[in-house]
Amino acid sequence: MKRTKRLGKALLAFAACASLLMQPIMFSSVAQAQEASQLHLKGLSHKPSKAANEALFDPNDAVLLLLDHQTGLFQTVNDISVSELRANTVALAKIAEQAGIPIIYTASEPNGPNGPIMEELPAAMPSAQYVARKGEVSSWDNADFVKAVKATGRKTLVMAGVWTSVCVAFPALQAHAEGYKVFTVMDASGDVSKMASDAALARMTAAGIIPVTTNTMLSETHRTWNRPDAAKWGSLYSELVPEYRAVTESYTRAQEAAK
């Protein structure tokens, strides 16, 4: 009995020491996370309250998940033009690259009839991680995919894919149920019909998932023009919205003429 008590006390002492040793690491991680969360707020003339900041998207806590943007599936998309879908998806990838947001993309079976990943996508996101699934319809049912997401340590998921009602909705609902904050980028996703897309949108929003567009993600990630990389963000706006490119071109020419 005495030996057992001594062993118990020794274990408690060890645990206490381990806790003290871990505290600097834990505090350092928290401090780093807090510092990173403020990076995209530099350049604002008014520092938002915590509540106001949390009301908007935080790119420093986000992961971009691109799900099944496969050329075979594109042939079934009817709720958005395929050219617009492709352009928005590439723009979304470039936004994430510009902001340093981790990107994970996947396909259920790229060698099957659903076809390969759209060819222009990997070039737009050189830092992205590809996870091959083993036939699972929902990426959240694939162990390697979930492991890759968890390895980022981030809790905000930005999802887009084809089909919206399946390849986006299923993992969005599952991840949200497990405590993740989930955004779905509707115009970088496509579905077999507008009805299918509308039904998926209603289902996801009812569960607490947040629908956005690519332009919203760009503006909410960018946040301010008062930043040293403003020109790079401007080029993304011009690429995503051709009309905005016309605005910047006319403004630039007017400034040159004024000189």
Identify the residue whose tokens are 């395929």: 82
Q: Residue 229: which residues within 8 A CB-CB, separation 6 or more? A: 98
Q: What single letter denotes the amino acid at residue 9? A: K
Distances in Å between the Cα of 125 and the Cα atoms of 39, 89, 183, 233 are 22, 11, 19, 16
Q: What single letter denotes the amino acid at residue 250? A: S
Would you call 144 exposed, middle or buried from its count of C-beta atoms within 10 A (0-12, 13-18, 19+)? Answer: middle
DSSP designation for 116: P
Q: How open is the CA angle 226-92-192, to the nearest 5 degrees?
A: 145
**Cβ distance 42 to 227 under 8 Å?**
yes
The active-site residue, picked from 96, 117, 159, 167, is: 167
Is 167 labeled as catalytic in the residue annotation? yes
Identify the residue whose tokens are 């049912």: 141
**Cβ distance 142 to 170 under 8 Å?**
no
**Cβ distance 227 to 221 under 8 Å?**
no
Helices within 38-100 (DSSP H only): 50-54, 71-74, 82-99
Give the integer Cα–Cα distance in Å for 239 and 228: 19
**Assigned token pair, 148:** 């890759």
Is the backbone of residue 94 left (phi > 0), alpha (psi -120 to 50) or beta? alpha
Residue numbers annotated as active site = 167
